[in-house]
Amino acid sequence: MSNEIPEQATMIAEAVRFGTVSASQVLEEHLARIDTREAEIHAFNLVLADEARERAAEIDSIVAEGRDPGPLAGVPVALKDNLCTRGIPTTCSSKILGDWKPPYDATVVKRLSEAGAVAVGKTNLDEFAMGSSTENSAFGPTRNPHDTTRVPGGSSGGSAAAVAAGFAAISLGSDTGGSIRQPAALCGTVGVKPTYGAVSRLGLIAFGSSLDQIGPFTHTVDDAALTLEAISGHDPADSTSIERPPLDLRSKLMMGAAGLRVGRVTDLPAGASPDVQQRLDEAFDALAAAGAEIVDVEVPAFGYGLTAYYLIAPAEASSNLARFDGVRFGARTSAPDTNQMYMATRTDGFGAEVKRRIMLGTYALSAGYQEAYYGRAQKVRRLIANDFAAAYANVDVILTPASPTVAFEVGDKASDPLAMYLCDTYTIPSNLSGDPGMSVPFGTGDHGLPVGVQVLAPALQDHTMFRAAAELERYVQSQQEGALA
C-alpha cells in the first residue's frame, strides 16, 4: 500500500477517525488492488464497489460532523458468501442458491456495519463450506496469493486470500472443522475460531449447526482482537449464543507469556511435514524464552476426532440442506412431478462433495444405523471434550500445527477425498469440543510458503489464547527486524 494508507485495520480506523485519510481513500486503494489481481486469484463471488463507495462516503460524513464512526471506521471487510446480506446475493458458492437475496443481514454483518466497517464483497468458498481447498466452488477455485498454482485452503479460502492479497483489511469466515484456521495458515494470515457461542451464528447458512462458528481473518493479532470485540457478545435471536458481554481481548495482548503453561501434545498424530514441525518447535522455544513453561500433555482426541467429525458433520449437513429442495429456497429444475423435481433440482444444484456428505449423513441417521454411527460418534465427542478438559487442568494453552503442510498445488488432492479430509486433522477436535482456536503466521516452510501455528485454549479463555498468540507474533516481528538490521 501507499505510505498514506495503512494496511492494518487498527491503524486504518485510527487514521479515518482522526481525519488523516478518508474512508473513501482507503476504499479506493483496496478496490485498485482488487482490479489488479482479482482475475488471477478469484477471492470474490461478488465485488460490491458501488455499495462500498456509498458506505465509505457515509463514514466520511460522520467523521466530518464530529460524530464517532465506530472502532472499525472505514476498514474494508470481505464477507464469506454463506453470511446473509440483505438484498445482496448469498450463494454459498452453490448453483442451488443461484442469485438468492436474503431479506435480512446476519448479526455479524450488522455489527460490523455498526462498528463503521465497509463491506467490499462476498468471498468464494467450498460449496456450503464443505472442503479444505476452495476447489469445490460452483464458480471455480480460489488461488493462493503467494503462489497462484496452489490452493488457499478451505472452506474459507476466498476470505483468507482476500486479506493475504490486500483486498480487505479484515474478512469473515466460518469454521466447522478448521475452515478458518487452515486457510489462514496456508495464506499467512491470522485466523480465529472463537469459543462456540461467543459470536452469533444468526444469518450464517448452516453446515453443521453444533460445530459452525464465525471468526475473522486479519493481518495481525491486534486486528483480530479488535474485530472479535466488535462482533462478539450475546444475541437473543440466536439460541446458541452465550449470555455474556463482548470478548475483552485487546487489553490482554501486552501481558506477555511469563507464567503461561503451554501444552506440547506428546500423542499428536503423525502427518506434519518436517518444515511445519520445525516451525512448531521454534514456537515452543519462543514462548519458553519469553517465560512460559512448556508442559507435555496427552490429548487422545487428536487421534479419533476426524472419525467422529465425519459422522457428526455430514449428519447435521444432511438435515440442514434438506430445505434446499427447489420449493423453499433457491433454484428449481422442472420435472413432471414433485419427487422428480426434488431429484432433478438437487442433482443439478449440488456439487459432488456436497452430495457425498449428504449421502454419508443420511446413512448415518437412517433407521437401524443411527445409534451405531451418529449416536456412537456423539459419545466419542463427549470423550474428546473430556480429553481436552483433562489437558487444560495442567496447561493454559496448547500449540499444534494449524495445517500439516504448506499450501499444496491446485488439483493435488481433488480426486482423493480422504487426503483432503486429513488436512483438518489438527483443527477438527476443537470444533467438537467447542473450544477456541486460532492460527498465527509463524515463518515459512517449503517453497517459501507460509506456516501457521495453532493456539488452542479452554472454552471462554479466548483472551488467554490471544495472549499467547500475541507473544508468538512479537517473536516473528523481532526475527524479521533482526534480519533487516
Which amino acids are annotated catalytic? 80, 155, 179
Residue 138 near residue 93 (C-beta atoms within 8 A): yes
Q: What is the mean pLDDT of residues 166-191?
A: 98
CATH for 9-304+376-484, among 3.90.1300.10, 3.30.460.10, 3.40.50.300, 3.90.79.10? 3.90.1300.10
Domain edges within the chain: 9-304+376-484
**pLDDT number for residue 329:** 72
**pLDDT number for residue 377:** 97
Q: In the chain, count of helices (H) and strands (E)? A: 15, 11
Q: If you ran DSSP here, which 8-state letter would residue 127 be given?
A: G
**pLDDT number for residue 134:** 98
Q: What is the mean pLDDT of the chain?
A: 96
pLDDT tens figures, 232-282 = 999 999 999 999 999 999 999 999 999 999 999 999 999 999 999 999 999
- Which amino acid type is present at position 310? Y
**pLDDT number for residue 162:** 98
**pLDDT number for residue 1:** 42
Distance, in Å, from the CA atom of 421 to the CA atom of 319, rounded to the nearest integer, reads 21
Cell output for 286: 519462543
Q: What is the mean pLDDT of residues 464-476?
A: 98
For residue 296, how many other CB atoms are within 10 A of its CB?
A: 11
pLDDT tens figures, 8-29 = 999 999 999 999 999 999 999 9
Nearest to 230 by CA among 329, 107, 396: 107
pLDDT score of 330 more than 80:
no
Nearest to 124 by CA among 152, 99, 156, 153: 156
Q: Is residue 342 within a helix (H) or strand (E), and if so which, with residue range?
A: helix 338-349
Question: Quick one: the chain helix, strand, coil %, rounded to 5?
Answer: 45, 15, 40
* 97 Cβ contact partners less than 8 Å away, ≥ 6 residues apart: 90, 91, 324, 329, 330, 331
* 352 Cβ contact partners less than 8 Å away, ≥ 6 residues apart: 136
pLDDT tens figures, 187-201 = 999 999 999 999 999
CA atoms within 13 A on the CB side of 358: 16
Write the DSSP string, 41-59. Answer: H--EEEE-HHHHHHHHHHH
Q: What percent of the chain has pLDDT over 90?
A: 94
Nearest to 18 by CA among 60, 47, 54: 60
Distance, in Å, from the CA atom of 406 to the CA atom of 150, rounded to the nearest integer, reads 10
Cell output for 420: 483432503
Q: Is residue 277 within a helix (H) or strand (E), and if so which, with residue range?
A: helix 274-289
pLDDT tens figures, 437-462 = 999 999 999 999 999 999 999 999 99
Distance, in Å, from the CA atom of 265 to the CA atom of 287, rounded to the nearest integer, reads 15
Distance, in Å, from the CA atom of 407 to the CA atom of 79, rounded to the nearest integer, reads 22
**pLDDT number for residue 204:** 98
**pLDDT number for residue 98:** 84
CA atoms within 13 A on the CB side of 259: 4
Residue 243 near residue 234 (C-beta atoms within 8 A): yes
Say what angle helices 301-320 and 376-392 make with each other, to 10 degrees: 130
pLDDT tens figures, 77-117 = 999 999 999 999 999 999 999 889 999 999 999 999 999 99
**pLDDT number for residue 178:** 98
Pairing verdict, β 261-265 and 397-401: parallel
Distance, in Å, from the CA atom of 291 to the CA atom of 89, rounded to the nearest integer, reads 49
CA atoms within 13 A on the CB side of 102: 18
pLDDT score of 3 more than 60:
no
**pLDDT number for residue 483:** 81
Distance, in Å, from the CA atom of 435 to the CA atom of 312, rounded to the nearest integer, reads 17
Q: What percent of the chain has pLDDT over 70?
A: 99
The residue to which cell 465509505 is assigned: 56
**pLDDT number for residue 2:** 45
The residue to which cell 482482537 is assigned: 225
Alpha helices by DSSP H, 115-179: 157-164
Cell output for 281: 518447535
**What is the strand order of the sheet 190-193 is part of?**
44-47, 118-123, 76-80, 170-175, 213-218, 190-193, 437-444, 450-456, 397-401, 261-265, 293-297
pLDDT tens figures, 289-328 = 999 999 999 999 999 999 999 999 999 999 999 999 888 7
Residue 77 near residue 63 (C-beta atoms within 8 A): no
